[in-house]
């Protein structure tokens, strides 16, 4: 019996409500997917709508200006099996006992430079050579745990050197897949942060970097990104215009390399704040991890 109402009977009402509910759910899901899509809103990868890394709410380090890839969560154990890595600890702890030998000039392709130097030190006398050897040894342990074969240019087993041309030759002879020379800088107080030195295009004499400039930059950018993540250090405030990257054509270890190679200046030993980190064993372990992860990123890209 009709009472004149326009409402549908109960069965038709339930069907209508179910159809409406399904439509709302579908529209809501579609809207969520659009918002999560690239350019539609924040995502768990931390990438902004423009495609560049979003600022870290805990403090933006500025490394995105290097163009370095986003830091990945990690690499599987043994991911470097079959790969060879050259680690080049800068200078030598006993170079100061062999000043005549390290002062002789060697050919770096576009110039002639000293075989090696003594390096710098902190105000308290902690030598760059001791720092670089310690970090390289720590990085070797981490890289070997990932399955890599690791070659060191020196392991405290030489009276001095090797010379810069021999350092390059060791990596070339090993057919290294990646090479990193570990250093710390000796600049003015107030100059802080790390920087990665990339090879410039050099074709002169025995030097020809044309084949390694591109892959070396890739290695350097990944190394810079990982070093920030591992150590919390900022890119240099005095070299590289805030990018953490510097291109040079006057280093024999880069000029004469035929494998992808970069230098990393882990900090400034002459600045008290940087020196406090460089002399801390726990920080050096972080530095070794950053170097290891940068190399791993490059070799598993």
Q: What pLDDT score does 74 carry?
A: 53
234-237, long-range: CB within 8 Å, 24+ apart, which pairs? 234/61, 234/62, 234/192, 234/193, 234/194, 235/61, 235/62, 235/63, 235/66, 235/193, 235/194, 235/195, 236/191, 236/192, 236/193, 236/194, 236/195, 236/265, 237/191, 237/192, 237/193
Residues in the chain: 301
User: In the annotation, is 265 catalytic?
Assistant: yes
| Close Cβ partners of 70 (under 8 Å, ≥ 6 residues apart) | 45, 46, 47, 53, 225
3-state secondary structure at position 131: helix
Q: What pLDDT score does 37 carry?
A: 30
CA neighbor of 61 nearest in space, from 231, 238, 191: 231
pLDDT tens track for 82-113: 999 999 999 999 999 999 999 999 999 999 99
- CATH 3.40.630.40 in the chain is located at 74-299
Measured distance CA(159)–CA(113) in Å, rounded:
20
Measured distance CA(95)–CA(116) in Å, rounded:
8
196 is written with which tokens? Answer: 């990665």
Q: What pLDDT score does 19 carry?
A: 43
**Phi/psi of residue 291, nearest 5 degrees:** -65, -45
Mean pLDDT of the chain: 82
Residue burial 272-295, b: 16+ Cβ < 10 Å; e: rest: eebbebbeeeebbbbbbbbbbbbb
Q: What pLDDT score does 77 carry?
A: 64
Q: What pLDDT score does 176 carry?
A: 98
The DSSP code for 276 is H
85 is written with which tokens? Answer: 């890595």
Please answer whether residues 216 and 198 qualify as being in contact, where contact means their C-beta atoms are separated by less than 8 angstroms.
Answer: yes
Q: What pLDDT score does 258 carry?
A: 98
Q: What pLDDT score does 22 carry?
A: 42
pLDDT tens track for 74-90: 555 679 999 999 999 99
Q: What pLDDT score does 78 carry?
A: 74
Beta strands 261-268 and 178-185 are parallel
Report the 10 Å Cβ neighbour count for 158. Answer: 14
Catalytic-role residue among 146, 166, 221, 265: 265
The DSSP code for 148 is -
Q: Which residues of the chain have pLDDT under 50?
A: 1-72
Instruction: Look up the CATH superfamily of 74-299.
Output: Zn-dependent exopeptidases (3.40.630.40)
How many alpha carbons fall within 13 Å on the CB side of residue 162?
18
Backbone dihedral region of 289: left (phi > 0), alpha (psi from -120 to 50 degrees) or beta? Answer: alpha
Please answer whether residues 113 and 255 qualify as being in contact, where contact means their C-beta atoms are separated by less than 8 angstroms.
Answer: no
Residue burial 38-47, b: 16+ Cβ < 10 Å; e: rest: eeeeeeeeee
Would you call 126 exposed, middle or buried from its count of C-beta atoms within 10 A (0-12, 13-18, 19+)? middle
Please answer whether residues 239 and 224 qualify as being in contact, where contact means their C-beta atoms are separated by less than 8 angstroms.
Answer: no
């Amino acid at each position: 019996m009709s009472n004149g109402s326009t409402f549908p009977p109960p069965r038709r009402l339930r069907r209508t409500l179910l159809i409406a509910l399904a439509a709302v759910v579908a529209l809501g899901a579609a809207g969520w997917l659009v918002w999560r899509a690239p350019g539609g809103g924040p995502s768990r990868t931390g990438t902004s709508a423009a495609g560049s890394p979003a600022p870290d709410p805990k403090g933006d380090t500025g490394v995105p200006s290097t163009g370095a890839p986003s830091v990945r969560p990690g690499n599987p154990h043994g991911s470097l099996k079959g790969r060879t890595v050259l680690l080049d600890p800068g200078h030598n702890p006993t170079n100061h006992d062999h000043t005549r030998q390290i002062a002789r000039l060697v050919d770096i392709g576009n110039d002639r430079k000293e075989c090696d130097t003594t390096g710098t030190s902190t105000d308290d006398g902690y030598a760059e050579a001791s720092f670089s050897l310690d970090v390289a040894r720590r990085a070797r342990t981490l890289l070997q745990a990932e399955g890599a074969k690791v070659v060191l240019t020196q392991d405290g087993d030489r009276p001095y050197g090797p010379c810069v041309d021999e350092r390059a030759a060791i990596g070339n002879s090993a057919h290294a897949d990646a090479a990193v020379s570990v250093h710390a800088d000796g600049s003015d107080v107030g100059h802080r942060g790390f920087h990665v030195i990339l090879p410039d295009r050099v074709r002169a004499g025995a030097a020809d970097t044309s084949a390694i400039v591109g892959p070396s930059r890739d290695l350097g950018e990944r190394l810079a990104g990982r070093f920030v993540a591992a150590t919390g250090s900022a890119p240099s405030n005095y070299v590289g215009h805030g990018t953490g990257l510097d291109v040079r054509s006057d280093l024999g270890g880069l000029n004469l390399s035929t494998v992808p190679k970069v230098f990393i200046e882990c900090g400034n030993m002459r600045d008290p704040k940087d020196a406090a980190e460089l002399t801390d064993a726990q920080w050096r372990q972080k530095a070794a991890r950053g170097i290891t992860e940068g190399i791993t990123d490059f070799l598993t890209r």
